[in-house]
Amino acid sequence: MIRKVIRYLLRWYPALAFIAALSIWAGCAGGLSGTGEAGPEAEPGKHEALVRENRKMKKALAESEAHRERLENTAREQEAEQRKLEEQIARLNLLLVEKDTQIKEIEERQESSQKKLDEAIQEVVRAKAKLRSLESRAEAASNMAETEIALKILKTQQTESEEDPELMQAEQLLKMSAKEFKKENYGGALYLTNQAKGRIRIAQMRLVDKDKEAPVPGEVLFALPLPLQVIKTSNIREGPGLEFKVIATVQPNTQLIGYSYKGSWVRVRGEKNLRGWIFQTLVSGR
């Protein structure tokens, strides 16, 4: 509402002042040209009055111009303040998404305890044994060996203080798989091996992220990766700033994962190995 009033004044106030000035000038010109009662030989007092009116007119125009400039400055300041508030709101929205993600993660862990997970796995294994699945002994043995090699390679790349819970779970699943293999339940053994492969794949992704994405100065990591989506057509840049090169343009509703932020920029990752930075007001939680 304030901005509309300001625009109205900026548009019409100088025009009205100018029209008033023209009216005064026309009256003065009429008197001086002989169209009125006074003529070229007007009395000295009337001439001085006209001069004073002319000065007043110029002063009014100058004040009008100064007032217009003040209104324009006020409008610019309000626009800058509004942009600042929009950036603060976007930052708060990101922090809210971060907290919501943390709460969701905690709830999921509480609802799915390790005991229930083991019971579910055992149930699937028993079902596999009853159905006498067609998976062959050779296929199960081959997958077990392949998974064991991948597990050993990943474990050698980590220290004891950095043990990945996904790798620990994969190792436990492989032990269960070996037991079912000895029982000649090859279908159950293959199922457990595939579950171990999934855990290993997650650990590999974490290791790649750690090796390739070195944090920039001032970057702050989120407590957990944030599920985000693009609000409108946006550019992904190499770094956190407009001076960095644009590496991709993403469309609305594109799904991304946010890992950290620096200032108003968020480090994200998407499909087809898309990695870069996006301005915070261009994404929201999903």
pTM confidence score: 0.44
Structure tokens at 120: 């579910």
The string of pLDDT tens digits covering residues 205-226 is 666 555 456 678 888 887 666 8
Helices (H), the chain: 2-33, 44-111, 114-131, 137-156, 165-182, 186-212
CA distance 275 to 114: 34
The string of pLDDT tens digits covering residues 22-79 is 555 555 444 444 444 444 444 667 778 887 888 888 888 888 888 888 888 888 888 8
User: Which pLDDT score is estimated for 39?
Assistant: 46
User: Which pLDDT score is estimated for 233?
Assistant: 94
CA distance 280 to 139: 48
Name residues of the chain where pLDDT drops below 70: 1-44, 128-135, 156-163, 204-214, 223-225
**Range 223-236 burial, b when 16+ CB lie within 10 A, else e:** eebbebebeeebbb
Please name the amino acid found at residue 88.
Q
